[in-house]
Structure 1
């Protein structure tokens, strides 16, 4: 999408307050074209630990760049009064929550907590998207100044996993090694992929044995 078209969409749909839904619809069109719309629902990741991997650093830096781009579009398409009100906010997600709920954020807190405490991963489904969604909700709660102990955040994620992850959970608790949510997510994904690989090998072996028995 050309810059001229983006500017025209922004100018024609300036946020003045009552037109929020129309403004948001056009904003999403722009952010989707830039492939950065995800930052509206997900806050910036927490600060990276000193031992962060190159991949974690790359993801973190990209998130910062995408969030800055989204915030720029958001502020540029507001009237002056709303710009002043939101220009010091740290993320696109924080701006979005404030526009939707204003100072009365209790409703949003309740909705996020309800979703977080009831999320469950169904057995057989990939874990990466599930853990990412839970991490995003935790980040949004941080934005609303609801900060839980890190151990509780980890336990909520572990308790949301299906029975097939029991060996992973047992090993994690026995080792008692504190991990960031990003590292925990990576380890859960590795366990899931390893389990899929082993199941595939078992299926191949079972199929091979069945053919052998039929020949006999």
Structure 2
């Protein structure tokens, strides 16, 4: 933390009864076994605030007659902190587990708890990874909901000591986007800048609005439909025409076949009627 003038301010010192406050926090959820991951995460949060988390991961240093004053003081501080944390850890367990760890230091207690409940943590990580890989955008749902769901899986895996780096997390999310976002993915890869998941969420939110606008259908009637309708009418009218063309060339120069065998003549008396096939009918 830093003040407005840029000078670092010291962290607040724990109150004299901080151990009792820590015990009250951890006492809200006792360790029973199946809740190991949640209990351990809560324990680390509270110990980190009290500057005592290190006793879970480091053994008490050994001193001898040749140890320096600084080493002796470090040993004494570690001993005192480990003693308090060991008591607090045991006090926040179920009675059955308290009997197991009644005389165990914090570091050894942490190692044994890992061995006892590591199988459960591994199974939980596997289940979360399966859900992560199977996560796809739901039809009709906002793409932002998909990003937030993926972020939830990444956060859960991090709490299970399985963290993904930012670039890998982003790439997994991009690979799960539907085809409508191919152009967005291409542009993102071309720009190639470091982005957090929530920043990607904001970018996709803007892209989603643009895609929705482009998907709005037009209300105007396509001209091709009118053309096709008129063409169908013209085709129908030609199909009903049963007349026969006369032999010879048309105005366009094409020859036409004639089924009639009546010879043409210029004398009305010799002309044969097309309808009654009688000579001289046109004269009458």
TM-score (norm 1): 0.50
Q: Greater relative contact order: 1 or 2 (C-alpha under 8 angstroms, separation 6 or more)? A: 1
Per residue, is there more helix in 1 or in 2?
1
TM-score (norm 2): 0.39
